[in-house]
Structure 1
Amino acid sequence: MTVHSLLESSWEWETVAGPFSFTEGPVWDGERVIFTDVPTSRILTFDPRTGETVVLIDGTEKAVGLALDADGRLYGCVDGGRRVERYEADGSRTVVADRFEGARLNAPNDLTIGADGRIWFSDPRYQPDKSVMELDHESVLIAVPDGDGYLVERATFDTTRPNGVLLSHDERTLYVAQTHMPPPESCRELRAYPIGDDGTLGDYEVLFDFGDDRGVDGMTLAPDGSLLAACGWPKGGRGPRVAVFAPDHTHVLDIPTEVNPSNLCFGGAAGRDLYLTDSAGCLRRITNLVNEDLSSPW
């Protein structure tokens, strides 16, 4: 399928779960999609074999983004509890990070985990009440494994409201959604930061400047390294959509969505299905988005 035919395609999103309240953070664990319903403080699972959606974890204090580590353990960014935590198999929870240099975190939003166990997470403060902030910055931080716990380090020094974060397949690039909206400091960009041999970030490349349009919320990678980003809104610009960037970072197409998309992941038995969460509280799906050889068709 050519880029031209993709641009002319009529994309059919199938609603497979919901509506709930506001869904986020989808991850595929090999058998099911795990995702959050933020306002109701629940983590849910959708099993495509049965079509059933069930509650996995309740009382999450508005968990948002989720991620799995190399051992399949589930981690979440807890907006209301202002921490990053791990959900253990026995039902307990382990605090991974709740402070930086002695100050409480703002409200962790999204995370991505490297093969070395380092957890990169965004720490913005979207809530109107800024008086509770103990940090004087909104940055991407790293929870570095240290014995039985973690050390928290600062990764970005040039973000003002980071949202989605994602490591490239080779873990040499960190993608960051910079989403500061209030003028006169508005800056909504999709950025790519090179990761140096020492683990620090270099100067970023702007993959897309969203201007007055709604910027990126969550992101995922296709098997070939193409980046898919949930972005846009009905107020203007290109509308609510999934923006697709080829492995060379070229913006190649937009897949329209019905409402504001929040996050997305690939899943299914062959890893070819795209799952999407959104502001309507649904989990939606496009089946067989990528080719049988797991390469992207754009």
Structure 2
Amino acid sequence: MFGLLEGTGFEAIEPEFNECFIGHARVERLWTGARWSEGPAWFPAGRYLVWSDIPNNRMMRWDETDGSVSEFRAPSNNTNGNTVDEQGRLVSCEHLTRRVTRTDFDGTVTVIADAIDGKQLNSPNDVVVKSDGSIWFTDPSYGIMMDYEGDRADSEIGACHVYRWDPETKNIEAVATDFVKPNGLAFSSDEKFLFVSDTGGTHQDGGPAHIRKIPISDDGKQLTKGAVFADCTNGFFDGFRLDRAGRIWSSAADGVHCLNTNGNLIGKVHIPEIVGNVCFGGSKLNRLFIAATSSLYSVYLNVNGLK
């Protein structure tokens, strides 16, 4: 059940990918038993990983010290994306309650955002925290389209946007309103750009299946006009992370795709399940954790991720 698996491994599409992986390193399956795995987040102080099992309405915890897996939170309000803020606190997107929350060190859960202009959010999906403490998240309608990952409901907003929460005013503002289904997101290392995936093709014929690269305004609070950075060649780009060299490591239908700084696909880490999201972890941030359909995988790379 666990350990090294057939059907996994590295595929170098361009020679530059060869420097990204370790020849004798192999993909490991750390655990299986989920229905749809998402939102991995690494907690360095405790040496553990938290991720979501959305349909089972729980969050799981993998401990690096002994390899054990336990329930971190159940019920979890069908939590999807997770991240860690600058203070080491958990920030989560909840489908069922249609909100973004922060879990403080004493376990207190604070609601960051659940509505805008008196209208309830759709179903926040993925989230990142900027160095200024602002919280940026996507709000597609996946959690309200069916009862599998939340509760079926009509969208009060009538569209799917990207939002920014201001740490001073505690207000949220739509910073991108031209997405079909905004999904994963991540900042560049200098925080001058925000990358956002659009998975609109899941429910719209000919809809988008790409990542866009969007410049951030000089005041760090707004998005300007962006462009398509890369199109997915197998399924959809869902969640993704950047390494310190600016490469993107993104989920896809056949595993993890690695894109260089020009948006070119240079290699893959093959996984025998659809991948939902990834994150870097370990003491050197050189271990890629991969949340796939029913399982949690990991592989050591010759790169280091952004924290």
- Secondary structure of the structure 2 residue equivalent to 1:3: helix
* Pair 1:241-2:252 in alignment: no
* Pair 1:195-2:216 in alignment: yes
* Pair 1:143-2:143 in alignment: no
Distance in structure 2 (CA, Å) of the matches to 1:20 and 1:128: 21
**Contact 1:163/1:217 (<8 A) preserved:** yes
**Contact 1:163/1:177 (<8 A) preserved:** yes
Distance in structure 2 (CA, Å) of the matches to 1:180 and 1:154: 18
In structure 2, the partner of 1:178 is: 198
Q: Deviations over 1:84-135 (max 9, x none)?
A: 0011222221100000111000000000100111111000002436752100
In structure 2, the partner of 1:108 is: 124
Q: Deviations over 1:155-199 (max 9, x none)?
A: 102101111011111111111011112344512111110101132
Amino acid at match of 1:83: R
Question: Which of 55, 65, 72 pairs up with 1:39?
Answer: 55
In structure 2, the partner of 1:230 is: 251
In structure 2, the partner of 1:237 is: none
Distance in structure 2 (CA, Å) of the matches to 1:133 and 1:168: 31
Amino acid at match of 2:239: G
Change beyond 3 A, Cα 1:7–1:219? closer
Given the two structures, how large is their TM-score scaled by the length of structure 1?
A: 0.87
Q: Deviations over 1:61-102 (max 9, x none)?
A: 100000111000101000111000011222221100000111
Amino acid at match of 1:264: V
What is the percentage of aligned positions where both structures have the same residue? 27
Amino acid at match of 1:86: R
Distance in structure 2 (CA, Å) of the matches to 1:133 and 1:11: 45
Distance in structure 1 (CA, Å) of the matches to 2:228 and 2:99: 29
Distance in structure 1 (CA, Å) of the matches to 2:305 and 2:77: 38
* Pair 1:124-2:140 in alignment: yes
- Secondary structure of the structure 1 residue equivalent to 2:288: strand
Question: Which of 66, 69, 72 pairs up with 1:50?
Answer: 66
* Pair 1:272-2:292 in alignment: no
Distance in structure 2 (CA, Å) of the matches to 1:118 and 1:276: 26
In structure 1, the partner of 2:104 is: 88
Change beyond 3 A, Cα 1:267–1:135? same
Give 1:3 deviation, angstroms.
2.8
Question: Which of 271, 276, 286 pairs up with 1:262?
Answer: 276
In structure 1, the partner of 2:297 is: 284
Give 1:10 deviation, angstroms.
8.8
* Pair 1:3-2:20 in alignment: no
Distance in structure 1 (CA, Å) of the matches to 2:209 and 2:174: 21
In structure 2, the partner of 1:204 is: 226
* Pair 1:250-2:293 in alignment: no
Distance in structure 2 (CA, Å) of the matches to 1:154 and 1:277: 28
Amino acid at match of 1:108: P
In structure 2, the partner of 1:27 is: 41
Change beyond 3 A, Cα 1:10–1:177? farther
- Provide the aligned length of Structure 1 versus Structure 2: 282
**Contact 1:97/1:143 (<8 A) preserved:** yes
> Could you say what the CA RMSD is over the residues aligned between the two structures, in angstroms?
2.4
Amino acid at match of 2:107: G
Given the two structures, how large is their TM-score scaled by the length of structure 2?
A: 0.85
Q: How does 1:62-81 map to 2 (within 5 A)?
A: 62-81=78-97
Which segment is superposed worse, 117-126 or 8-17? 8-17
Amino acid at match of 2:156: E
**Contact 1:11/1:256 (<8 A) preserved:** no
Structure 2 stretches of 5 or more lacking a match? 1-11, 147-151
**Contact 1:11/1:255 (<8 A) preserved:** no
